[in-house]
Chains A and B, each alone.
Chain A
Amino acid sequence: MANKKNLILTILLLIGCFALAWYVNFETDSYIRRVVNLCMVYAIIGLSMNLTNGFTGQFSLGQAGFMAIGAYVVGIFTVPVALRPAVFYAAPMNPLIADIYMPLWLALIVGGLLAALVAFLIGTPVLRLRGDYLAVATLGFSEIIRIVITNAQTITNGALGIKDIPPLNDVRYIFVFTAVIFIFITALINSSYGRAFKAIREDEIAAEAMGIDLFKHKCLAFMISAFFAGIGGGLYGALLGTVDPKNFLFTLTYNFLLIIVLGGMGSITGSMIGAVLVTAGLEFLRVFDEPLDLFGMAIPLFRPGFRMVIFSVLLMVLVLFWRHGIMGTREFTWDKFIAFCKNPFGFFGRKGARKA
């Protein structure tokens, strides 16, 4: 009974969001559309990162690399064949791929699969490492992917990047991807495999003693995470209309780290909230990158890059003082939401009382 009610509410919410996406698509200006699209793409990648870092407890920092793979597959295969000689003007495109064209949805899936394959190859040595070593190794691999892309000139156009990607700005299109990925990850986490991931996060030795093959499950989580990061990266590339190795510096990964830490490591709905706050926040902080004149005096701090300084400080403060983020490992549920609506002031008090 209660489950059916919650399911209906969730479906209604999704329909409501889709209607909102429709509205944003036709009734708002391109700036708002861009921010909304970016929020959704960041949510996808945040979710993917939460799968390894939040749910499986493996501190991986390779998201920018997997995004790059997805974005480049979109870049390489969705540029119309006729435009390619103009894009690859420095060195012509490799004839093996020069005539292959894919629609965006197909390129996204191929990009995701390729990212998952690379994750498998990386994972085999790297997932045997723990904690800090895993973070350093994945960070390194993400840079290696970028460097390989920079040097594979006839495939990726090297440092010049790929321009003229048919721009994607249909909010509904990105919304459908986001919703499907959100539902899939929620269902996965609530399955036996999701429980196995969480067991690994809680206690690897106990998980192993309960018959959970650590390596197999870590690898699975890592590959699924890379798959969705690849799709997210592909959407990101299509959104920008151009891909360039510099877009995928390892600092990009920190955006998603902030999203999952802010939202709550191990909370799906937390990642969604985190994605909206961080993306909107990054847009807001853009003023710090512009030169600022106050009373005729140029404030010296306000220059390109200052935004990222503020950003890093926020991340540090967050990790130091508010490690569990907004949601912790909790999830938004309709039951809690209804309890909150009925008695907004008693809600937090009651929970505190129960804990005591």
Chain B
Amino acid sequence: MTILRTDGITMRFGGVVAVNNLQIEINEHEIVALIGPNGAGKTTAFNMITGVYTPTSGNVIYTDAAGNDVQITGKKPSAIAKLGIARTFQNIRLFKELSVYENVMIAKHLHLKSDFMSAALHLPHYNAEQRQAEAEVEELLKKVNLWDLREEKAFSLPYGQQRHLEIVRALATKPKLLLLDEPAAGMNPKETDELTEFISQIRDEYNLTIFMIEHHMDLVMGISDRIYVLDFGQTIASGTPLEIQNNERVIAAYLGVEEDA
């Protein structure tokens, strides 16, 4: 069953067409990768799906938890997050000055039912909600070995742990669909392997669908069910990892560039 579909979304910035008529379909429980050279429009596609940008034309359709198709085109990012789409950012966007623990607790706020008065007065039903959230956050932080570092400020973590924290923060919103923008950027091969393992593990454990932008070909080819390739805003290929590896346009546009670099 599809969970996300983009219906020919296009994004123009002045004269630049960053993404042109993008058609994507992602099925539940899949891991789908979006690859392409720098500036191809991958992040822009994520930004349209998560409501950071409103597409110049086209529609984004999401199938919510109840199985209804919802048009999320141009909805506020916060509303889209509430529907079950969470994301990470290419340039890590943690709440730098806040503790590791607070970073993840913040992601629990969207499920809070208590109003601000109950929260400020710490009324019993608010406290019950918080205890539940705290237990879930503890479990998540232990999973990525950050529980012992929970009091540290987010910016003080090593780079690799910041990436993991950002993923865990997104998981804390209890998403159905998780978008990862270059999760392995800046990681060495060992860290990348661990991350690959981690991504397929959380997919199974939380019954997630994952859509990710990635440059590390080991990671992409290793765990993706399907791959889309963008170049200059155009989709130049899509298919299974094997199909993509043997696609001549892809080799010319992307893999060739990667080998030179």
Question: Which residues from chain A sit less than 8 Å from chain B, CB to CB?
Answer: 184, 187-188, 191-193, 195-196, 198-199, 202-203, 205-214, 220, 224, 329
**5 other A-B residue contacts (CB within 8 Å) besides A206-B95, A207-B95:** A188-B119, A192-B126, A195-B102, A210-B81, A213-B78
What's the minimum C-beta distance from B157 to chain A, rounded to whole angstroms? 14
Q: Is the CB of B122 within 8 A of A198?
A: no
- A198-B78 CB under 8 A given contacts A203-B93, A206-B94, A220-B116: no
Q: Which of B87, B97, B112 contacts A209 (CB 8 A)?
A: B87
Cα of A198 to Cα of B97 in the assembled complex, Å: 9
Residue of A nearest to B79 (CB): A213
Residue of B nearest to A211 (CB): B110
Question: Which residues from chain B sit less than 8 Å from chain A, CB to CB?
Answer: 50-52, 76-79, 81-82, 86-87, 89, 93-98, 102, 105-110, 112, 114, 116, 119-122, 126, 130, 133, 169-170, 173
- A212-B120 CB under 8 A given contacts A191-B126, A206-B95: no
Q: Is the CB of A205 within 8 A of B52?
A: yes
Q: Is the CB of B105 within 8 A of A192?
A: yes
Residue of A nearest to B47 (CB): A205
Chain A residues with CB below 8 A from B82, complex form: 211
- A209-B81 CB under 8 A given contacts A191-B126, A192-B112, A202-B98: yes
Q: Is the CB of B97 within 8 A of A329?
A: yes
How many contacting A-B pairs (Cβ < 8 A)? 101
Q: List 15 A-B contacts (CB under 8 A).
A: A191-B122, A192-B108, A192-B114, A192-B133, A193-B119, A195-B98, A199-B106, A203-B96, A205-B77, A206-B95, A208-B81, A209-B86, A210-B86, A212-B110, A214-B78
Q: Is the CB of A195 within 8 A of B86?
A: no
Chain B residues with CB below 8 A from A212, complex form: 78, 106, 109-110
What's the minimum C-beta distance from B174 to chain A, rounded to whole angstroms? 10
What's the minimum C-beta distance from A335 to chain B, rounded to whole angstroms? 12
Q: Is the CB of A187 within 8 A of B97?
A: no
Chain B residues with CB below 8 A from A184, complex form: 120
Q: Which of A187, A195, A206 contacts B109 (CB 8 A)?
A: A195
Chain A residues with CB below 8 A from B110, complex form: 210-212
Q: Is the CB of B76 within 8 A of A188?
A: no
Q: Which of A187, A224, A329 contacts B122 (CB 8 A)?
A: A187
What's the minimum C-beta distance from B156 to chain A, rounded to whole angstroms? 9
What's the minimum C-beta distance from B83 to chain A, rounded to whole angstroms? 9
Chain A residues with CB below 8 A from B50, complex form: 209
Q: Is the CB of A209 within 8 A of B120?
A: no
Cα of A275 to Cα of B114 in the assembled complex, Å: 32
Q: Is the CB of A208 within 8 A of B116?
A: no
Residue of B nearest to A203 (CB): B93
What's the minimum C-beta distance from B150 to chain A, rounded to whole angstroms? 14
Chain A residues with CB below 8 A from B122, complex form: 187, 191
Chain A residues with CB below 8 A from B112, complex form: 192
Cα of A128 to Cα of B60 in the assembled complex, Å: 25
Chain B residues with CB below 8 A from A187, complex form: 120-122
Q: Is the CB of A202 within 8 A of B96?
A: yes
Chain B residues with CB below 8 A from A211, complex form: 78, 81-82, 107, 109-110, 173
Cα of A193 to Cα of B106 in the assembled complex, Å: 9
Residue of A nearest to B154 (CB): A202
What's the minimum C-beta distance from A219 to chain B, rounded to whole angstroms? 11
What's the minimum C-beta distance from A68 to chain B, rounded to whole angstroms? 25
Chain A residues with CB below 8 A from B126, complex form: 191-192
Chain A residues with CB below 8 A from B109, complex form: 192-193, 195-196, 199, 210-212
Residue among A193, A199, A203, A209 having the largest count of chain B Cβ atoms under 10 Å:
A209
